[in-house]
Chains A and B, each alone.
Chain A
Amino acid sequence: MEALLGGFAVTLSIENLAYCFVGVLLGTVVGILPGLGPLTTIAILLPITFKMDVTSAIIMLSGIYYGVAYGGTVTSVLMRIPGEASSVVTCLDGYEMARKGRAGAALGVAGIGSFVAGTVGVIGISFLSPPLAQLVVKFGPAEYAMLMLAGLSLVTYMSGGSLARALLMAAFGLLLGTIGSDPINMTQRLTFDLLSLGDGINLVPLAIGLFGLSEVLFMARQDPDALKVLPPPSRLLGFMPSREEARRSVAPVGRGTVLGFLVGLLPGGGAVLASFLSYAIERKLSKRPEEFGHGAVEGVAGPESANNAGTAGAFVPLLCMGIPANAITALLLGAFMIHGVTPGPTILERQPEVFWGVVASMYIGNVMLLILNLPLIGLFVRILEVPRAFLAPMILAVCLIGVYSSSGNPADVVLAVVFGFVGYGLRRSGFDLGIVILAYVLGPIFERSVRQALAISDGDPMIFFHSWLSGGFAVLAVAILVAGLWPKRVGQAA
């Protein structure tokens, strides 16, 4: 506790506060712009920090990282463009809320939920870091394989439609995930000798195509009057959720926070998995599951909290073990090392002022983000007042620029357009696209983990039950599947 106060003393210098503010501001902006991700931004800014004090540098760079989770919501809700991978799931209900005139409420719930999750996440870092970090190394290939299996079995909860349709979309997502280099011996699969497919299909063109561009096509097809979006209340406090919405959001925020933090700890899946898990759980627990997909506030509150808590969770293995949970924390690890600081168990002994300074800055950064984001909501929702005839080409432009800037590869733009048409066709036929993304993200991790585990055990499948963790996840996967299938059978019979 004393050490944390010392951290606040470090952070509360004018200089560090300014760096923290610059970081979270940039993070918000980057989150709003689809495509330009935190990874690129941090990499570009890295050389600027060479001359800076290490604590200031990390305060600024990590501000970008957790700021992004706030900003990513805006385009998901307003335009159905996922700003970041972890806000894909927000497109489902957030955009529907916007169409019903509740855009402000959706953004408000997301902002407040993010703040709660971010802050609770930092409290988790402050007090639980060392023991939680120990848990991370317990996850080997077998544990990952079974965790991913449990995640994949969630597809039975994700869809409101028939189970067969959900499974069909899951299969489509898995198929997309197999494109590219085989994860073990690099054989090219389904690439048709196209170099651009050598690493598989990137998430950005896939998500922006399926969600954003398909929406543009819908707009083009429909009668302009049918598309009327209810104007959001433009009062000063128009972003505030109604009493009813607030009441319904409390529990999802709480569950999303805990779930997001725990899943965020794990290298690999992180915030994306957390947001999908939260969505599936909220849908299962909801008394009104039929509202999901049509603007259920729980479907925004839970996942948005989960992805913010997930970003906080990712700092635990980074700071305490020197293990980055994803590409962005890997870049932060590089930033530490350029400055001659080695994150890991020794950081608390050797450079406690760096550790606690960064942790303290995250408390302050989250407050800054809340203050920064809430008033802006009033401004953001004005976008919906733009006539559709102008808004549709605007969304188109934002999507295409976003896809191009994410990789600098023109082939990705072509892919996004293709997925725009695919997404349009699938949505017209009533298929659920969230499942495609879930299967696409988890499938390759599942495949790699299974193959690694079997290489280790020399082909013996009992390795998946070798520890209580992997065995537990295996049981969980079966339980989820059975529970997911059971009520539907009964319902159909009745």
Chain B
Amino acid sequence: MYRRTMLRAGGALAAAAYAAPALSQSGKWPSREITLINPNAPGASTDLTARIVAQALEKRLNATVIVKNVVGGAGALGPSTLAAATPDGHTMGLVAISSHITVPNMMDVKYDPWKAFDVLGQVASLRYGIGVRTESPIKSIEELIAQGKQKLLTYSSNNVTNVVAMFQLAKLSGAKFRWVVFQGGVESVTAAIGGHVDAVIQTVAEMKPQIEAGKLRFLASAATERWPDYPDVKTLRELGFDAVTNGPFGYAFPAGVDPAIKQRMESALADVMADKAVQTQISNLGIVPTYRNGADYAAFLKQIEGELVPILRETGMSKKKAA
């Protein structure tokens, strides 16, 4: 961490001085194992994806890639550790809405999300949908809205990232929906099929087993596209509501990595994501393999920030006052 502060404080001069040894370093990079920091527990969809990507990167970089779960601090420990790591190309980590938007807005972290990372690219996006239990009288989004105008409806979800579409839908339609926070995605879905809440917004991976089993009725895709497995179910946009939940995730180096190394890692990642076997493994998890290069991915996160920050304020989750 000390080194990072020094680097920033030193400014251009230090950066120039640092570049010379770093260049010679890039020749033999990677010179040891590469650590991929994941802020979620083993078994989380980001963790499973990281293990698939790490295995594919190993072949292309000729180096061991270890997934390290740095779990804790309500998601803050992972990105904080990444931001403080030595930028020598041997530490990379997950960057997503959590690292860039929710965590910095909800907690006091020591890193500036828009300056601390060299973003390498996006690898996947979680695809969200809205469902109700099969026994529910609600059969469409229109009926959900009609009911929500008569009385307060509850819906379950485990993360503020997920609920963007429901907040937007409530605002656009005037219906009243209340978010009930559950601990995990599957718990949310279970609460809906048990009839404890009126609806649920979660990812495909979490909803699909229950849709297949006929326990959950899939009302609409909350993504920009329809779900490939359910081509008949429309998106909220197609139904006339400009409401979308995005769930991208990708990887970054801590800022200050030799551009040559960054270049090689970015292209290795692009190559991994073009690999059909990798795509199939990720798709099997119910996650959409989605590639964006570093610059595009950083810009995409910035766009989502604009949508999410007002919701964080509304739910009382943001501790930062409006600027």
User: Taking beta carbons and an 8 Å cutoff, which residues of A are in contact with B?
Assistant: 39-40, 42-43, 46-47, 50, 136-142, 180-181, 183-188, 193, 195-199, 202, 267-268, 321-324, 327-328, 330-331, 333-334, 337-340, 342-346, 407-409, 448, 452, 455-456, 458
Report B-chain residues with C-beta under 8 Å of the C-beta of A184: 181
Query: What would 4 more interface pairs be, CB under 8 Å, given A196-B77, A199-B74, A337-B284?
Result: A50-B52, A140-B195, A321-B190, A343-B209
17 CB contacts below 8 A, A to B, read A43-B42, A43-B43, A47-B52, A50-B55, A185-B316, A196-B77, A198-B107, A202-B72, A267-B187, A321-B209, A321-B210, A321-B213, A334-B285, A342-B208, A343-B209, A344-B209, A407-B71
Question: Are B209 and A322 interface neighbours, CB within 8 A?
Answer: yes
Q: B70, B77, B180: which contacts A456 (Cβ < 8 A)? A: B180
Residue B258 at the A interface, CB < 8 A? no
Considering only residues 28-72 of chain B, those with a C-beta below 8 Å from chain A are 41-43, 45, 47-48, 51-52, 54-55, 67-72
A452 to B108 CA separation, bound complex (whole angstroms) = 26
Closest to B43 in A: A331
Which residues of B sit under 8 angstroms from A338, Cβ to Cβ? 48, 52, 281, 284-285
Considering the complex, which residues of chain B in the window 170-216 have a beta carbon less than 8 Å from any beta carbon of chain A?
178, 180-184, 186-187, 190-191, 193-197, 205, 208-210, 212-215
A455 to B182, CA, bound (A): 11
Q: How far is the CA of A409 from the CA of B68 in the complex (A)?
A: 11
Q: Does B315 make an interface contact (CB < 8 A)?
A: yes
B68, B74, B210, most chain A CB atoms within 10 A: B74
Contact of A188 with B194 at beta-carbon distance under 8 Å, contacts A43-B42, A342-B209 already known: no
- Residues of chain A within 8 A (CB-CB) of B285 are 334, 337-338
Among A40, A43, A180, point to the contact of B74 (Cβ < 8 A).
A180
Residue on B with the closest CB to A332? B43
The verdict on B286 contacting chain A, using a C-beta distance below 8 Å, is yes
Q: Is the CB of B317 within 8 A of A186?
A: yes
Contacts of B52 on A, CB cut-off 8 Å?
47, 50, 338
Whether B281 lies near A50 (C-beta < 8 A) is: yes
Contact A40 B76 (CB under 8 A): no
B292-319 to A contact mask, C-beta < 8 Å, 1/0: 0000000000000000000000011101
Given contacts A267-B187, A323-B186, contact A198 B74 (CB under 8 A): yes
Query: B196, A456: Cβ atoms under 8 Å?
Result: yes
Give the residue of A139, A330, A407 whose beta carbon is less than 8 angstroms from that of B194. A139
Whole-angstrom CA separation of A262 from B213 in the bound complex: 24
Number of interface residues of B (CB under 8 A): 59
Q: Is B259 an interface residue when CB atoms closer than 8 A count as contact? A: no
**A-B residue pairs, 10 tightest by C-beta:** A43-B42, A140-B196, A331-B43, A198-B73, A322-B209, A137-B194, A344-B209, A345-B213, A181-B74, A195-B73
Q: How far is the CA of A43 from the CA of B52 in the complex (A)?
A: 12
Binding site for A on B (CB under 8 A): 41-43, 45, 47-48, 51-52, 54-55, 67-74, 76-77, 80, 106-109, 152, 154, 160, 178, 180-184, 186-187, 190-191, 193-197, 205, 208-210, 212-215, 281, 284-286, 315-317, 319
Assess the A408–B68 pair: CB atoms within 8 A.
Answer: yes
User: Which residues of the partner chain B approach A330 to less than 8 Å between Cβ atoms?
Assistant: 43, 184, 186
A196 to B78, CA, bound (A): 11
**Chain A residues near B281 (CB-CB < 8 A):** 50, 338
> Which A residues are in CB contact (< 8 Å) with B76?
195, 198
* Chain A, residue nearest B191 (CB): A140
Q: How far, in whole Å, are A39 and B40 apart by their CA atoms in the complex?
A: 12
C-alpha spacing A136/B189, complex, angstroms:
12
- Determine whether the beta carbon of B209 is less than 8 Å from that of A43: no
B72 & A199 in contact (Cβ 8 Å cutoff)? yes
Contacts A43-B43, A43-B51, A338-B285 given: A137-B77 contact, CB under 8 Å? no
Q: Which of B71, B107, B180, B212 contacts A188 (CB 8 A)?
A: B107
Contacts A183-B183, A456-B154 given; does A409 touch B77 at CB 8 Å: yes
User: Smallest distance from the beta carbon of A459 to chain B beta carbons, Å?
Assistant: 11
Q: Is the CB of A448 within 8 A of B154?
A: no
Nearest CB in chain A to that of B319: its residue = A187
Q: How far is the CB of A130 from chain B (nearest CB, A)?
A: 11
